[in-house]
Structure 1
Amino acid sequence: MSAASLSRLLLLSAIWGGSFLFMRIGAPVLGPVMLIVFRVGLAALFLLAVALFLKKSMALKAHWKHYLVLGLFNSALPFLLFAYAAQTLSASLLSILNATAPIWGAIIGALWTRTLLSGKAVMGLLSGVVGVMLLVGFDRLSLLPGADIAIVAALGASFCYGITSVYTRSIPSIGPFANAHGSMWAATLIILPLVPFFPVNQAPSGGVVLSVVALGVLCSGIAYLLYFRLIADIGSTSALTVTFLVPLFGVLFGTLFLDEVVGWYTLVGAFLVIVGTALVTGFSPRVLFREKTNKAP
């Protein structure tokens, strides 16, 4: 991996790790629905500006149904569930629970294709389960009212990403930028009708407004562009490394900016979840040191 690609990988991991910090700041004030409608709406507008500048088309007439499915399971539903959970859980815990997405994907894929998981994948699944049990069993926030529902919501968000990973394998290649652009508009249209039923909890401060803008433009719009560039440069397997790095930044930012407590259970639980994800996906760090021989389509 070149120094430029490594820099992009670390930057993307930091941005997506920061998304849980911004949700933790914005969700208690704006509520999940208002926070996420701004997130996907700003991302859609940003990607529209990029599409106009680069003269990229979504082929909306041909793929609008696909964008709706992708917008629901890859953006609208998981974003809402994470934002709901962010009203109670820490940014650190949210970022670690997010790393279970590939595990859910492996389980859903096995059920969909009616195939048995390999021994290594089963070990990864068990490692992930033990890691989550440690996290939710010892974290003091899990004792707060509604925390159990928030944990289920966060895991449900990761489950949605697992659905998306299986779904995208069964469709023709449309192009990563078009997928991102189309799905953000679809997510906006899906969430927008909910806004009148979920008013803002309180007037947002300047910090909350900045968090919303960062979520939309930085953590969704710019992050997608970085991710697509990584896939093109180093391949999807190496780009998967971002899954393992996001919790590190999520925990770091939660500790630095929100004074979240990092106990032994946080570190051990995160380690078990990341190891479980690596086993389930068959990921090996050695792929980072291999040159990519073919460009991604």
Structure 2
Amino acid sequence: MSRRGWVLFLAMSVLWGVPYLLIKVAVEETSPVVVVFTRCVVGAALLLPWTLARGQVRPALRHWRALLLFTVLEMTGPWMLLSYAEDTLSSSLTGLLVASVPFVAALAARLVGDEERLTPVRLAGMGLGVAGIVALLGFDVEGVALLPVLAVVLVVVGYGTAPLVASRALGEVPGVAVSAIALVVTAVVYAPFALPRIGQVTAAPVRAQASLAALGVVCTALALVLFFALIREVGPQRALVITFVNPAVAVLAGVLLLDEPFTLGLAVGLPLVLLGCVLATRRNAPAAVDTAVP
């Protein structure tokens, strides 16, 4: 990847690794649906005025079908399904299932005729990334229920295909506009479930309110803008390799900020994840050109 690509990649790895910590703090005082709704409202409040001021809403809505599809695949569907699944699934199993997103993205790209090849080196990198996540999080399958697993599988399909929709059908639409509209739609969908419980936010302690604010400002508004920049810089397949790094960032944040133990799994898993990312994002060698003179 280019230097700019690596900067965006590392920024996104942190910005979407930290939410695990912030959500853990927020859900101690508020319900998951309130967390998601508040996150969307704060993010939309920041991005929508910018989009309106630049006159980008009306041109973006000309692509309303692709916008709606992206919103359902990236936000509205996954966030609700994950809230349901994580009531019963362990975080380790959920993290491991979500780590399959790059494989789904590669398969989706192949099905729609994407010209970028998934080389053996990049496949090996993805495999190392998964192995690193297993070492980091473990693999807890005791008492697994089928429906929550299927819910996470649908999340993986959404996360794996949404960036492809963005790169192929929304390439002309600014990422800020796409993010703002998607957040508004998702907030509207969640509103009937969240508004009756919105008093939880005002009654929550400052620590939880600060976590909700950080989720909306940093991990939603800023992160979505950078995510679109990352997709356009390196392509949807490489962009989604962040799903390997996010759990590692979450575990490190727990060690550094919550005094969680530094385990052997972290010592082994983190280097595997980093090596896997380097290989999985490696630039493909140019195709050989036949220069023989007939």
Give the structure-1-normalised TM-score.
0.70
1:160 paired to 2:162: no
Please name the residue that 1:107 is paired with.
107
Q: Distance in 1 between matches of 2:114 and 2:222?
A: 37
Please name the residue that 2:220 is paired with.
220
Q: Distance in 2 between matches of 1:269 and 1:68?
A: 37
C-alpha change, 1:256 and 1:135, in structure 2 (3 Å) is closer
Percent of pairs identical after alignment?
26
Contact residue 134 and residue 265 of structure 1 kept, 8 A = yes
Please name the residue that 1:67 is paired with.
67
Offset of residue 12 of structure 1: 4.0
* Residue identity in the other structure for 1:186: V
Contact residue 21 and residue 250 of structure 2 kept, 8 A = yes
Please name the residue that 1:27 is paired with.
27
What secondary structure, in the 3-state scheme, does the structure 2 residue paired with 1:17 have? coil
* Residue identity in the other structure for 2:71: G
More helix by share: 1
Contact residue 247 and residue 270 of structure 1 kept, 8 A = no
Q: Distance in 2 between matches of 1:168 and 1:104?
A: 15
Offset of residue 75 of structure 1: 1.3
Aligned residue-pair number: 279
1:259 paired to 2:294: no
Q: Distance in 2 between matches of 1:148 and 1:125?
A: 26
Q: Distance in 1 between matches of 2:138 and 2:9?
A: 32
Offset of residue 14 of structure 1: 2.5
Offset of residue 217 of structure 1: 1.5
C-alpha change, 1:245 and 1:220, in structure 2 (3 Å) is same
C-alpha change, 1:213 and 1:87, in structure 2 (3 Å) is farther
What secondary structure, in the 3-state scheme, does the structure 2 residue paired with 1:29 have? coil
Please name the residue that 2:37 is paired with.
37
Q: Distance in 2 between matches of 1:259 and 1:91?
A: 18
Please name the residue that 1:210 is paired with.
210
Query: Which of structures 1 and 2 has the bigger CA Rg?
Result: 2
C-alpha change, 1:89 and 1:201, in structure 2 (3 Å) is farther
Give a deviation string over 1:219-251, Cα, whole Å, max 9, x none. Answer: 11122334455667xx22598397154344222
Offset of residue 284 of structure 1: 1.5
Please name the residue that 1:291 is paired with.
none
* Residue identity in the other structure for 1:157: V
Q: Distance in 2 between matches of 1:149 and 1:201?
A: 29
Give the structure-2-normalised TM-score.
0.70
C-alpha change, 1:58 and 1:16, in structure 2 (3 Å) is farther
* Residue identity in the other structure for 2:46: F
Q: Which moved more, 1:36-45 or 1:125-134?
A: 125-134
Structure 2 unaligned regions, length at least 5: 286-294
What secondary structure, in the 3-state scheme, does the structure 2 residue paired with 1:43 have? helix
Contact residue 76 and residue 187 of structure 1 kept, 8 A = yes
The root-mean-square deviation of aligned C-alpha atoms, in Å, is 4.5
Offset of residue 184 of structure 1: 1.2
